[in-house]
Amino acid sequence: MTVTGLPSGRTATLTSRGEGLVVAVAADARCLPTAVHTSRCTVGETPASYAFIAHTPRSGSIDFEVAIDGDGTDTDPANNQASVTAS
């Protein structure tokens, strides 16, 4: 997952959620697990790329959402979500 377009000097949080997966983990030191299939990653300067590992016996997905930290204004919130299907 690559995050781009963060305003200069701002930080954001990238949240990943596994759906229907046995394990979904962020393979990145900037990310911490917050639940069985959920991780939160700190985003500083962009572009910033993050690697995730998914293990599943069947089809599942990893959903991603980016939110600017604090009181930052996002001029295009429509591009803050993505989903990847694992099979």
For residue range 52-86, list pLDDT tens digits in order. Answer: 877 777 778 888 999 999 887 787 888 899 998 87
pLDDT for residue 6: 87
pLDDT for residue 86: 75
pTM equals 0.84
pLDDT digits (tens, 9 = 90+) for 2-51: 999 888 889 999 999 888 765 667 788 889 888 878 889 999 989 999 88
Residues pairing with 43 in the sheet: 12
